[in-house]
Structure 1
Amino acid sequence: MLNREDNELLCRVGPGTPGGALMRRFWHPVCTSAQLPHPDCAPLRVRLLGENYVAFRDTEGQVGFLEELCMHRGASLALGRVEEGGIRCLYHGWKFSASGSVMETPNHADPKYAQRLKAPAFPVREEGGIVWAYVGPAGQVPPFSRYAFMDAQPQHRVVLRINVACNYLQLVEGGEDSSHVGVLHTNMARPGWKDNEFTRNPDVVNPAALASNDLEPTLKIEETAFGFHYVALRKTDDPKIRNARVVPFIVPYGRIIPAPAFLFTVLEVPEDDMHTSTFIVVHGDAPITEEKIIELLGLNDPRYYDRKSCTFTASWADTFGQNRELMKENWTGLRGVEVEDATIGLSQGPLYDRSREHLVPADQAVVRVRRVLLESIRRVAENRQPAALGLDLRGVSACDRQLDENESWQDLLPSHRQPATA
């Protein structure tokens, strides 16, 4: 159980909040590269940490990230014209470059006046099919952290964004909860459950394709420089061998989930206290298509996902599309990993009160997420560096393997011991 005071510390991320101060120390995904598909395309309105911004791709292909409201009279630049190397406000024609330079002020055409001004613009990087921005204190820009998926060949990588109307921590905790996989995702994790038989799911792309039918994994956790990693140990038919599923938590909201042949990097980026942009990047050593991942996640049904706006659209209005008749053969009456995960997060309400819960040993990783984030919030409040800031994260990974009783689970991912600085 988490007391209400700490729950508020963890969940509130807006300006002036302790949780917001932690978040603003990091680089964040703000959109996918595909959302800004070509030079001078339509700009994109972005909600991040309780504030509004505009992202645009200029004539040369460079991405700019500015405060949404024009510095002249406050009209939204998300309605603006993107042309001739900048973004132009519709109201009076003021034009800004990707770096925030004021290029033109048509209703006061004095070049000296424009030269004295600069629009609020923020550092931007475009890596791995994602646009990243830093919106924190200007003098504390950390080194940019690279992930392994950034080095994958484009045809071996799929990048998706799913906007979900609940607090980021509900989705983070679900992702770090190994015991839910064999239950919530029963149809994918434990085929044959209706006949009390276990047959491993042969889909090498599916992160819910468990290698064991054990619903009560033993968890072991170890602190790392990027946050922590843990192993969920499940029984197998051989008493000397257990299935070991190792998952990291990367401060402030990242995780990597193993599938048999691919890795799912998931970043739960807070739009505000009650909305989250989930960025899912799937990569591996073989080609993979967006259509395959969309289908796997259950997002190929328009009742659940608007591909243009990246919004998860299911709600209580139709009980999230749950089919009670289907539940005779399908555990949840839903289809797809992300549909099930997002639905559970939304079912908890927009911001869950954790003082009401009752925890068990299988929730240890969830508890550790909270502990690590609270410690990181305290570090920032004391002008100390939080975990994971400025690290090169390419060595951070996940795995699902068999483990002999004489082997150490930490040896499965030795790169977690000493991550390099970025």
Structure 2
Amino acid sequence: MLSHEDNDLLCRVGPGTPGGTLMRRFWHPVCTSAQLPHPDCPPLRVRLLGEDYVAFRDTQGQVGFFEELCMHRGASLALGRVEEGGIRCLYHGWKFNAFGDVLETPNHADPKYAARMKAPAFSVHEEGGVVWAYVGPKEMQPAFSRYAFMDAEPDHRVVLRVNVACNYLQLVEGGEDSSHVGVLHTNMARPGWKDDEFTRNPDVVNPAALASNDLEPALKIEETAFGFHYVALRKTDDPKIRNARVVPFIVPYGRIIPAPAFQFTVLEVPEDDTHTSTYLIVHGDSPVTEEKIIELLGLDDPRYYDRKHSAFRATWADTFGQDRVLMKENWTGLRGVEVEDATIALSQGPLYERSREHLVPADQAVVRVRRVLLESVKRAMQNQQPAALGLDLSSVSACDAQLQEGTAWQDLLPSHRQTETA
């Protein structure tokens, strides 16, 4: 259970809120590179932490990230012309380059005036198929944090964005909850469940392909410099061997989920208090296609996913497309990992009130997420360093492996100890 006051502290991310103060200390994904596909392409409106921005790619391919409204008279730059090395407001023709320099002010053609002005532009870093921006205090800007997927070959990596109409913490907690995998994702996690038989899912790309039929994993948790990692230990046929599924939580909203041959990096970026942009980056040692991942996630059905606008479309209007007849053979009556996860998060409402929960030991990682975030908020409000800020995260990973009795689970990912001193 979380008090109403602490619930608001973590879930509210707008300007001036404690949660928003924490969030503004970090670099955030603001769009995929594919959403700005070529130089001088149309600009993109971006909602981030309760505020509105515009992203654009100039003639040289450089990305700019501005407050949405033009500094002159407040017209939206998302309607502007992107041309000849900058973005131009339609209202009076003021033109800015990607770094915020004012290039032209046609209705006041005094070059000295333009030279004195600077548009509200923000630091941008593009890597790994994602455009990142920092919108916090300039004097506190941290080093950019690298992830392992940034070093993957382009054809070994898929980047997707899915916009979901609920608070980010609902999605974060779902992702850190290992016990839900064998239940919510039953058809993918435990094929044969209808006949009380367990057959491992052979799909090496599927993060729900569990190696054990145990629905009550034992959890062990350890704090790290990036937040924490935990292991979910599941019984196997051999009493001296446990299946060990290790998952990290990276402050303020990141996780990495293991699939047999790939890693799923998931970043739940708050657009505002009741909307989230989920970035799913899949990478591994072999090629993987966007079509494969979209099908796996259940997003190949246009009832669920608008690929052009990255929007998850299912709502209560049609009970999220749930097929009650299909439930005779399919646990949820839904199809796909992301469809099931997003539907459950949406079913909790736009902003879930946690003060009426009844938690069990399998919820330990969810409780730790809240504890780590509350501590991080406290540190940010005191101008101290929150966990994960500025760290090189390229050695942070996840795994699903067999663990011999007497072996330390931390030894499965020794790189996490190196991150402590990064």
TM-score range, shorter chain: over 0.9
One-letter identity of the residue aligned with 2:216: E
Aligned equivalents of 2:309 and 2:371: distance in 1? Answer: 34
Aligned pairs for 1:9-408 within 5 A = 9-408=9-408
One-letter identity of the residue aligned with 1:148: A
- Per-residue deviation at 1:406? 1.6
- Per-residue deviation at 1:381? 1.1
- Per-residue deviation at 1:53? 0.2
The runs of 4+ residues in structure 1 deviating greater than 2 Å are: none
Percent identity, aligned pairs only, is 86
Aligned equivalents of 2:268 and 2:246: distance in 1? Answer: 19
One-letter identity of the residue aligned with 2:230: Y
Aligned residues: 422
Aligned equivalents of 1:269 and 1:232: distance in 2? Answer: 25
Structure 1 SS opposite 2:90: coil
Question: What's the CA shift string for 1:68-126, capped at 9, x where partnerless?
Answer: 00000000000000000000000010001100000100111111110110000000000
Question: What's the CA shift string for 1:287-335, capped at 9, x where partnerless?
Answer: 0000000000000000000000000000001000000000000000000
- Per-residue deviation at 1:418? 2.4
Aligned equivalents of 2:421 and 2:92: distance in 1? Answer: 45
Query: In the alignment, is the contact (CA less than 8 A) between 1:392 and 1:421 conserved in 2?
Result: no
Structure 1 SS opposite 2:107: helix
Aligned equivalents of 1:321 and 1:85: distance in 2? Answer: 45
Structure 1 SS opposite 2:418: coil
- Per-residue deviation at 1:421? 6.9
Change in Cα spacing, 1:421 to 1:98, as seen in structure 2 (3 Å) is farther
One-letter identity of the residue aligned with 1:91: Y
Query: In the alignment, is the contact (CA less than 8 A) between 2:224 and 2:420 conserved in 1?
Result: no
Question: What's the CA shift string for 1:256-296, capped at 9, x where partnerless?
Answer: 00000000000000000000000000000000000000000
One-letter identity of the residue aligned with 1:386: P
Query: In the alignment, is the contact (CA less than 8 A) between 1:255 and 1:267 conserved in 2?
Result: yes
One-letter identity of the residue aligned with 1:82: V
One-letter identity of the residue aligned with 2:73: R
Aligned equivalents of 1:293 and 1:420: distance in 2? Answer: 32
Aligned equivalents of 1:292 and 1:300: distance in 2? Answer: 9
Query: In the alignment, is the contact (CA less than 8 A) between 2:223 and 2:229 conserved in 1?
Result: yes
Query: In the alignment, is the contact (CA less than 8 A) between 1:129 and 1:159 conserved in 2?
Result: yes
Structure 2 SS opposite 1:201: coil
Question: What's the CA shift string for 1:352-378, capped at 9, x where partnerless?
Answer: 000011000000000000000000000
- Per-residue deviation at 1:43? 0.1
One-letter identity of the residue aligned with 1:209: A
Aligned equivalents of 1:381 and 1:294: distance in 2? Answer: 39
One-letter identity of the residue aligned with 2:231: V
Q: Which moved more, 1:223-232 or 1:376-385?
A: 376-385
Aligned equivalents of 2:193 and 2:199: distance in 1? Answer: 9
Question: What's the CA shift string for 1:207-243, capped at 9, x where partnerless?
Answer: 0000000000000000000000000000000000000
Aligned equivalents of 2:406 and 2:22: distance in 1? Answer: 40
- Per-residue deviation at 1:382? 1.2
Aligned equivalents of 2:196 and 2:291: distance in 1? Answer: 32
One-letter identity of the residue aligned with 2:385: Q
One-letter identity of the residue aligned with 1:213: N
Structure 1 SS opposite 2:126: strand
* Runs of at least 5 residues in structure 1 that lack an aligned partner in the other structure: none
Structure 2 SS opposite 1:52: strand
How high is the TM-score relative to the length of structure 2? 0.99
Structure 2 SS opposite 1:351: coil
Aligned equivalents of 2:76 and 2:404: distance in 1? Answer: 59
How high is the TM-score relative to the length of structure 1? 0.99
Aligned equivalents of 2:51 and 2:255: distance in 1? Answer: 24
Match of 1:8? 8
Aligned equivalents of 1:321 and 1:217: distance in 2? Answer: 31
One-letter identity of the residue aligned with 2:76: S
- Per-residue deviation at 1:181? 0.1
Query: Cα RMSD between the aligned structures?
Result: 0.7
One-letter identity of the residue aligned with 2:184: L
Aligned equivalents of 2:94 and 2:315: distance in 1? Answer: 40
Aligned equivalents of 2:261 and 2:267: distance in 1? Answer: 20
Question: What's the CA shift string for 1:17-42, capped at 9, x where partnerless?
Answer: 00000000000000000000000000
- Per-residue deviation at 1:420? 6.6
Match of 1:409? 409
Aligned equivalents of 1:361 and 1:420: distance in 2? Answer: 27
One-letter identity of the residue aligned with 1:371: R
One-letter identity of the residue aligned with 1:20: G
Structure 2 SS opposite 1:418: helix
